């Protein structure tokens, strides 16, 4: 088991879990039930601690030698976190683990069952937007300033040849329809 910090922000974003289970020649695996426990702790804006579990259950009609599980661990928050003190309201909540299963059929040469779990529990969309908009706006302002300077230079120095066009008479603007 190992955790990984994919975006280099100092917080773990992903869990890699591998379980190797030796099997005798008479044993076959038709399903898996697994309970994973997670501990959440926040200390920056609010003091929040939570112990949670995710229940994973899968069964198949044919024996298997490997099971790959890829999922996202999400906390469904129903109320804002409190500003002061220790918040443990969500200790009763279950985390939602949205998963995709890949079952590998049993081969005669396999003497063990492998369980691979990849679980992502990083930031959600709004958490990412909260910090991304500042970067977007700062880059946008730089580009707007640069392009404004280019526009001023082009028009003041007449870099592009332009031909003034006189206005058209009012009667020629509209097409006449016969009714």
In the chain, domain spans: 2-122, 126-158
| Residue 88, pLDDT score | 72
- At 48-96, the pLDDT tens digits run 777 777 788 888 888 888 888 888 877 667 777 777 777 777 666 555 5
CB 45 within 8 A of CB 81: yes
CB 14 within 8 A of CB 120: yes
| Residue 102, pLDDT score | 79
Would residue 10 be called left, alpha or beta, if left means φ above 0 and alpha means ψ between -120 and 50 degrees? left
Can you give the pTM of this predicted structure? Answer: 0.57
């Amino acid at each position: 088991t190992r955790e990984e910090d994919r975006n280099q922000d100092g917080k773990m974003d992903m869990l890699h879990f591998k379980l190797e289970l030796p099997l005798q020649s008479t044993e076959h695996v038709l399903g898996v039930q697994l309970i994973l426990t997670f501990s959440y702790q926040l200390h920056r804006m609010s003091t929040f601690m939570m112990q949670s579990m995710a229940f994973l259950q899968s069964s198949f009609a044919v024996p298997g030698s490997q099971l790959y599980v890829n999922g996202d661990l999400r906390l469904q928050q129903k109320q804002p976190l409190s500003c002061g003190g220790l918040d443990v309201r969500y200790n009763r909540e279950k985390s939602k683990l949205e998963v995709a299963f890949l079952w590998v059929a049993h081969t005669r040469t396999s003497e063990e069952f492998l369980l691979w779990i990849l679980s992502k529990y990083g930031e959600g969309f709004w958490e990412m937007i909260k910090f991304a908009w500042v970067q977007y706006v700062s880059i946008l302002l730089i580009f707007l300033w640069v392009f404004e300077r280019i526009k001023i230079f082009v028009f003041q120095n007449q870099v592009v040849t332009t031909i003034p066009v006189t206005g058209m008479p009012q009667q020629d603007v509209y097409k006449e329809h016969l009714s």
